[in-house]
Structure 1
Amino acid sequence: MEKLVVEPLRNQTTVQEFILEGFPAVQHLGHIFFLVHLLAYLTSVMGNMTIITIIWVDHHLQTPMYFFLSSFSFVECCLITTVIPKLLTIFLSGRQTISFAACFTQDFIILFLGATVFFLLSVLSMDRYMAICKPLHYATFMNPKMCFLLVSGCFALGFLFMLVPVVMLSQLSFCGPNVIPHFFCDFGPLTNLSCSETSSIEILFFNLALFVLCSSLVITIIAYSNIVVTIMRLPSARERQRAFSTCSSHLMVLSLMYGSCVFIYVKPKQASRLDSNREAALVNTVVTPLLNPVIYTLRNKQVHQALRDVLSRVQLQK
């Protein structure tokens, strides 16, 4: 069914707030799901904050790779904090309303931080490429100033890329209905609720999302293709295993992130698969941030040692 366009209300917005539908099929189990998601949220925040703290406390981890990793963990904390508290409110009290301004603010922050995450992942790929393929130039190129510029550039690009489509969407007419079939204010469901013509904004957003995902993916593929070639040329099996171990955690995170986000955002028509988007978005906003600290810590001996050192210092102080 084609969306109804109401021309007389084209420049008016009568909707003052939206209703987040959440997960109506399991709303009767709200208290159980509240506890599950609260535990996942607290674990994710504590895990990511632990990584950040260890990296900034232990001087052995104050290297470019761990600086990028701490930036990644910080963005993950901000991202889930933008989404999960409102979901917890829906599960606990059933309060599903969100104001017009808060909804678009949430939408922008989610898209901005989401784009920033992918740019950071591509920077992590470049870092591993320089460390493994260009070790003699690594210290010179990946100096503190360059690391700061790369991370700042990721935030700036994420901000600029997502600001325009969200601002354009907020200027359209919303004259009802106001029920968002999602647990947060996402671009696709909001577009579907507008009673203005949205095809140009949908095309713009599709192209921007495609560029963000594809550009970071291309950089990652090129970097890791060169990394694999370089590793296979190493003389000993132990050196090859050590080189691969530094990249395996990054590749696992990449698989989780790209899989869910391609499913959610890179499709021209947003209205056709909104129900299935909720499950994919739940993976991206709850499961992935929960697994990332586990993936990075369980497979990283340097983080293990740094964590043991911090715990031993705490015990000595007692």
Structure 2
Amino acid sequence: MKPPPFVYHGPATLGEALDVLAEAGPGGKVLAGGQSLIPLLNMRLAAPAHIVDVNRVPGLEGIEAGPPGVRVGALARHAAVERSPGAAAAQPLLRQALRLVAHPVIRNRGTVVGSLVHADPAAEMPAVLALLGGSVRLASRGGEREVPAAEFFTGPMESALRPGELALSAFFPALPPRSGTAFHEVARRHGDYAVAGVAAAVTLDEDLRVAAARVACVSVGPVPVVLDVTAACGPRPAASIKWEAVAEAVRDRIDPEGDIHATADYRRHLAGVLAARALRDAASAARGEES
């Protein structure tokens, strides 16, 4: 299939890109990695009047890692972030999740920020941003704004990005000391979108009891579903917690829908199983152990 007709723009500076997007309004779409946009165009599921290719715009490919966390530029490819030692050290969940994204050829071209803007509730990166309480920096001809993850994902394939805006970067905060993370998912075939997936983050206190435990569930709602399960862990040391029992709190608080891939009941059951695994592995990492 072929895409519908559109006007192609290849701006060479950020200012030019923002000017074109402002003039295009709702009819403009940004092309960065194109791993989601191009299939939508070819299947005629999207028909923008203007495509704004930002690959020539300098300064958007950066990966900045430090004690506060990791800031990923709009043109940073999945593979580049996955292979970044600094990003993995500052926020291990990024590498854990990116290894599950599609296939290497997709990760070589697709972008982290593009995945966030696409806002697919079955995708890994929106869940990571939501779990960590990160944010996305947006720019328009009128200025910039930083949108927290809790406000950024507004529905399936819908984000807070307004017409005329460009997503410049995303920030993934680091976690406190004695924290660990993990990401588990199940897909029908390797590289497919997950039938269900769970990202987990666990922080322990000085006595190695759970100070905080959160999960973000993939493919169980219109947006990433973030749940705080700290209370379900109780005052026990993390090593003695029955994570399967904690996972019941996840099953009780999600409301997945069935589709051709899985029934709602199976998806709820699977989310619980994956939550137990992810929480156990995150707690082990927080204790400095290998899962």
Query: If the length of structure 1 is used for normalisation, what is the TM-score?
Result: 0.23
Larger proportion of helix? 1
- Higher RCO structure (Cα 8 Å, ≥6 apart): 1
Query: If the length of structure 2 is used for normalisation, what is the TM-score?
Result: 0.24
Larger proportion of strand? 2
